[in-house]
Structure 1
Amino acid sequence: MEYRRNFEAGGTYFFTVVTQSRQPILIDNIDLLRAAFVHTRKRYPFEIDAVVVLPDHLHTIWNLPRGDDDYARRWMVLKRKFSSPLSSATLNRSQRRKREKGVWQRRYWEHTIRDERDWRHHLDYIHYNPVKHGYVQAPRDWPYSSFMRAVGDGLYEPDWGMEIPAGVADVEYE
């Protein structure tokens, strides 16, 4: 399979990253995941517009610095930092050769945000995701999300997401 990623220096990107075999390990290791984000952002700066962490996957929107398009390096560092203290799963030869631990799926979904409308649809998708998966009744009830920060920034009312938002149906990534 030949997959081509889009690299846009200083771009804004939506990502979906999934654990290997959808292991539900992210919430149980949320402090480790947060530390991996902090470590990665110190080494390779980027801004986070939005993020939601579910047990087996996460979605996020990142803004890279002007002149920088290397989100792949950031994901490599973040995944390794998170994985290093965890015990390894049963690994195949390819995983051992690539120094993987069997924690993350190798690939991730990347989408370059095209405009304000596209950004808003992805922002809504991220914040509605815990409701979509049946974890909570409203985005405000999910503690592993940037939703309440977005409410504080005036992007949402606190009761947003009690019903399926219109733009969420336009985003199909997982």
Structure 2
Amino acid sequence: MRYRRASAPGGTYFFTVNLADRSSRLLVDRVDDLREAVRLVKQRHPFEIPGWVVLPDHLHAVWALPPDDADFSTRWTLIKGGFARRIEPGEFVRSSRERKGERGIWQRRFWEHQIRDEDDLERHLDYIHINPVKHGCVSRAADWQWSSIHRYVRAGDLSPDWAADVELETSVGPRER
């Protein structure tokens, strides 16, 4: 069976992208390199970012693509490659990757979900923003510095104490190891 990704020009998508080494802190330790890789890809392949959170070993994002474009895979390939080129070699590389000349920074695949409507978008943005709390990184979502929650707080759409009293039950996205 061949896996087929969603493809809707102008669509909005939720993503989970993982490092190969899930014990790594590379994404937060080198977040400026990640930001630069994203910035460069957005210049050549525009997209909007309604939500994003970077955790030590994975990230979640919501992207809105241009009306005539459904190619998020190329964007992720370029972002992952651009980030990897900024990282000094030294990570563990499986022999299957080594034979292909690949690095061992990222998991090969990523998880995507096409956003269906405004309620679905809101649920996924909430998932993104609560994720650092879910993983025990902070006790308040607004205390995690690598999150788009700060944009929503500045705009007055969320309070700095958003979800501080919520019992965590997250059912969006893939199960995380």
Q: Which amino acid aligns with 1:150?
A: Y
- Alignment counterpart, residue 149 of structure 1, candidates 133, 151, 154: 151
Shift of 1:165: 6.6
Q: Which amino acid aligns with 1:151?
A: V
Q: Which residue of 2 aligns with 1:115?
A: 117
Shift of 1:102: 0.3
TM-score normalised over the length of structure 1: 0.92
Q: In the alignment, is the contact (CA less than 8 A) between 1:124 and 1:165 conserved in 2?
A: no
What pairs with 1:122-137 in structure 2 (closer than 5 Å)?
122-137=124-139
Q: Which amino acid aligns with 2:20?
A: Q
- Alignment counterpart, residue 89 of structure 1, candidates 80, 88, 91: 91
Number of aligned positions between the proteins = 173
Shift of 1:5: 0.7
SS in 2 for 1:20: coil
Q: Which amino acid aligns with 1:65?
A: P
Q: Which residue of 1 aligns with 2:71?
A: 70
Question: Structure 1's 7 and 38: CA in aligned 2 closer, same or farther, altered over 3 A?
Answer: same
Q: Which residue of 1 aligns with 2:140?
A: 138
Using the alignment, how far apart are the partners of 1:19 and 1:169 within structure 2?
Answer: 21
Q: Which residue of 1 aligns with 2:2?
A: 2
Identity, in percent, stands at: 48
Shift of 1:85: 2.4
Using the alignment, how far apart are the partners of 1:68 and 1:157 within structure 2?
Answer: 34
SS in 2 for 1:49: strand
| Consecutive unaligned residues in structure 2, runs of 5 or more | none
Q: Which amino acid aligns with 1:15?
A: F
Shift of 1:154: 3.1
Using the alignment, how far apart are the partners of 2:167 and 2:114 within structure 1?
Answer: 21
Shift of 1:100: 2.0
Using the alignment, how far apart are the partners of 2:53 and 2:141 within structure 1?
Answer: 10
| Consecutive unaligned residues in structure 1, runs of 5 or more | none
Using the alignment, how far apart are the partners of 2:25 and 2:129 within structure 1?
Answer: 19
More divergent stretch after superposition (90-99 vs 1-10): 90-99
Using the alignment, how far apart are the partners of 1:138 and 1:128 within structure 2?
Answer: 8
SS in 2 for 1:26: helix
More divergent stretch after superposition (61-70 vs 20-29): 20-29
